[in-house]
Amino acid sequence: MGRGYIIPIGGAEERLRDPAILERFVAVCGGPEARIAIIPTASSERRTGNGYERVFRGLGAGAARSLPIYDRRDCGDRRFLRRLERADGVFLTGGNQLKLSTTIGGTQVADMLRRRNAEDGLHVAGTSAGAAFLSEHMIAFGEEGSTPRAHMVTLAPGLGLTHTAIIDQHFRQRDRLGRLLTALAYNPRPIGIGLDEDTAAFIDPHDRLVVHGSGAITIVDPSELAFSSMDSARQDDAVCVLDVRLHILTEGAAYDIGARRATPPAQARETAAS
């Protein structure tokens, strides 16, 4: 069946008045046929999962069920695994991404999400911490500021649905370009995806992303990087980084991660499948 969608959301997505992002997620998963499983692990607020159940049902999803996975033992629970086996879409809530990686990492839940997203068309969305966790290299935490400094970001292994991007969220609201550049300067292989709040990247099976939401997505493409001083920078040193390509994408704009090519909103709408 091939890969499902990977859908990082920048946090604080609209849930009531105009829940365009969540509505689109439900549609991608099959609308009235969609079985959605919610993983609330990142959140310290136990009602988070039930809140999303109500939102997704209100948006017409066939089924929406929160799986109360809060410790590593829960990740072997047969009932949860059966739900994930049958789901069309999985939604990871916000909170703390290290809760996600320490609780789910290396368990049957993580294995199933990876396998079913890669081979079985399972769509996986995450907001805020849930977005950060999706990629192979996850930003665990870091400092604010728009220019990079050595050691200002800490990476950790994430869920690993994709190697092609490092994801950061609350991007504009928390001034995170510096830490994303720092993360990419270590190894400019992936691109950086910086998501403003209430803004989502719908990444299709061919690694082509389309932007939806009220903010912007900052794409940082280091593939033409001519120089980085990261190898010699000491703690808190400013880091020199030459020839980074930057795109600010808004609603309807698209980006082809493989080809490293951006498309403005109108043109993208004409050619997009999503």
Contact window for its own copies (CB under 8 A) among 72-80, 96-104, 107-115, 238-246: 238-246
Name the catalytic one among 66, 123, 197, 247. Answer: 197
Binding marks (x or -) toward its own copies, 160..189, rule CB under 8 A? -----------xxx-xxxx--x--------
Active site residue 66: no
The reply to whether 12 sits near its own copies by the rule CB under 8 A is no
What letter would DSSP give residue 256? Answer: E
Residue 235 burial class via C-beta count within 10 angstroms: exposed 0-12, middle 13-18, buried 19 and up: exposed
Segment near its own copies (CB under 8 A); pick from 86-94, 118-126, 127-135, 234-242: 234-242
Which residues, 6 or more positions from 265, have their beta carbon under 8 angstroms from its beta carbon? 250, 251, 252, 253
Spatial separation of the C-alpha atoms in residues 92 and 124, rounded to whole Å: 8
**Least gap, CB of 16 to its own copies (angstroms):** 20
Yes or no: say if 261 and 219 are a contact pair by the CB < 8 Å rule: no
Residues 104-143 that bind its own copies (CB under 8 A): none
In contact, 95 and 44? CB cutoff 8 Å: yes
Cα separation, 229 vs 252, whole angstroms: 36
Q: Is 146 in the site for its own copies (CB under 8 A)?
A: yes
Separation between Cα atoms, residue 139 and residue 226, nearest integer Å: 24
Stretch 198-217 residues interacting with its own copies (CB under 8 A): 199, 214-216
Q: Which is nearer to its own copies, 85 or 243 (CB)?
A: 243
* Nearest to its own copies of 226, 273 (CB atom): 226
128 annotated active-site: yes
Among 12, 20, 118, 248, binds its own copies (CB under 8 A): 248
What letter would DSSP give residue 196? P
- Least spacing, CB of residue 207 vs its own copies, in Å: 18
170 a catalytic residue: yes
Indicate which single residue of 13, 23, 53, 196 sits in contact with its own copies (rule: CB under 8 A): 196
Stretch that binds its own copies, among 11-19, 25-33, 89-97, 233-241 (CB under 8 A): 233-241
Q: Which tokens go with 37?
A: 């499983």
| Among 254, 252, 155, 142, residue whose Cα is nearest residue 207 | 254
Give residue 186's identity as a one-letter amino acid code. Answer: Y
Question: Contact 214/251 with Cβ under 8 angstroms?
Answer: yes
Lookup result for tokens 């493409």: 221
Residue 153 C-beta: closest distance to its own copies, Å: 14
Residue 126 burial by Cβ neighbours in a 10 Å radius (0-12, 13-18, 19+) = buried
Q: Which residues pair with 167 in a beta bridge?
A: 193
Candidates 33, 45, 85, 243: give the one binding its own copies (CB under 8 A): 243
Interacting residue ranges for its own copies, rule: CB under 8 A: 144-148, 171-173, 175-178, 181, 194, 196, 199, 214-216, 218, 220, 226-227, 229, 237-251, 253, 262-265
Active site residues: 128, 170, 197
